[in-house]
Amino acid sequence: MTQDEKYMKRCLDLALLGGSSVSPNPMVGAVIVHEDKIIGEGYTSPYGGPHAEVNAVNDTIQCYGETEANCLFQQSTLYVSLEPCAHFGRTPPCADLIVRLRFKKVVIGCMDIFAKVNGEGIRKLKVAGIDTVVGLLEEECKYINRRFFTRIQQQRPYVILKWAQTQNGKFAPEENEQRWISNNASKQLVHKWRAEEDAILVGTRTALVDNPSLTVRLWKGKHPKRILIDRDLSLPIDSAIFSSDAETIIFNAVKTDWQGHIKYIELENFGLYLPQNILYQLYLMDVQSIIIEGGAKTLQSFIDAKVWDEARIFISPQQWETGIKAPTFEGTICREEKIAQDKLVVYERR
């Protein structure tokens, strides 16, 4: 690994610390290096706050004082995992700050395809005479922001399918009863995932049978937006999914209404392109990622519509004689691991 790659790896590690708190912004890390020594570093603050480059600059100023830091910047290289922004949004352009501080060199992991950036940040740096390198660990930098890039490119959230199945491929009991398949360690991991994504979706049957709250209880973090598909609004209003713990959005064929933390969104031609229409509505609401938790019919509808990106499947050692079959799909295995007695297999759609 080269020195440049080492510093970009550090940018990626920092970027991940932003987690889902930055959404719908991308996760970005920045490192300032002077004579082979890191003198400042930062990552993007929660949405609306300073970006990674600003936090790295402020970190340097805090350590060295403003006068000395301003001198050091002119002899330093800034490493950043994503192209610096070039437009005024909730914060001023980072590219302008870098130019004003006269950094000697900037090394960028990958370009930002957002229309208001998309090469403009790089152009500003080069016009100012800053030595600018683009594409270091490019694929790794793109991968950590796959949610952001999916939302920009496909105008929908990044979709994660999640379910548990028995060793012989059973998904749920045939009767309307709740029966756990995965173990407690797997349940805790699922709550961690919920805290990392913007939203979580279930259908009416799952909400009726399991009465899930879809909140983060076994992990520390924010609750995702809860998304319910309920065509005829048949779910009782005292169901756990309507609790005040988190926002709940109900896609239906009856009404559009807003009652505090509960939002009803009516979809015309409800059964036509349902997964696509739901995802586009969520895109318009700045939802960058979503977990589809079931049941089998709901999961299969997103699979058949080809609007999914990852599938995370827990396989239990249990064997059931009868039961609803697990969804069927085609994907590429990218990871397998043991979660106590369960096996977790993660697929990507190619």
What predicted TM-score, i.e. pTM, was given to this entire model?
0.93
Tens-place pLDDT, residues 209-219:
999 999 999 88
Gyration radius from the chain CA atoms: 23
* Average pLDDT across the chain, whole number: 95
- Predicted confidence band at 180 (pLDDT cuts at 50, 70, 90)? confident
Q: What is the pLDDT of residue 163?
A: 97
What's the confidence (pLDDT) of residue 1? 86
List all residues 6 or more positions away from 154 whose beta carbon is below 8 Å from its beta carbon: none
pLDDT at 317 over 80: yes
Q: Which residues sit in the known binding site for NADP(+)?
A: 164, 180, 210, 295-301
Position 264 scores a pLDDT of 98
- For residue 100, the model assigns a pLDDT of 97
265: left (phi over 0), alpha (psi -120 to 50) or beta: beta
Given a cut of 80, whether residue 350 has pLDDT beyond it is no
Q: How confident is the model at residue 20 (pLDDT cuts 50, 70, 90)?
A: confident
> What's the pLDDT tens digit per position in 98-155?
999 999 999 999 999 887 788 899 999 999 999 999 999 999 999 999 999 999 999 9
pLDDT bucket at 91, cuts 50 / 70 / 90: confident
Look at residue 304 in the predicted model and tell me its pLDDT.
97
When mean pLDDT is compared across 178-182, 281-285, 344-348, the lowest value belongs to 178-182
Question: Tens digit of pLDDT for each residue in 269-301?
Answer: 998 999 999 999 999 999 999 999 978 999 999
- Give all strands of the β-sheet with 310-315 in edge-to-edge order: 257-259, 262-266, 248-252, 225-229, 199-203, 289-294, 158-165, 310-315, 342-348, 332-339
Q: Is a pLDDT exceeding 80 seen at residue 176?
A: no
- Residues of each annotated binding site for Zn(2+): 51, 85, 94
Look at residue 330 and tell me whether its pLDDT is greater than 90.
yes
Location of structure tokens 């559009």: 256
Task: Encode pLDDT of 68-85 as tens digits.
Answer: 999 999 999 999 999 999
Binding residues for substrate: 194, 206, 214, 217, 293
Task: Give the chain's domains with CATH numbers.
Answer: 3-150 (3.40.140.10), 155-349 (3.40.430.10)
Confidence at residue 12, expressed as pLDDT on a 0 to 100 scale? 98
- By annotation, the residues acting in catalysis are 53
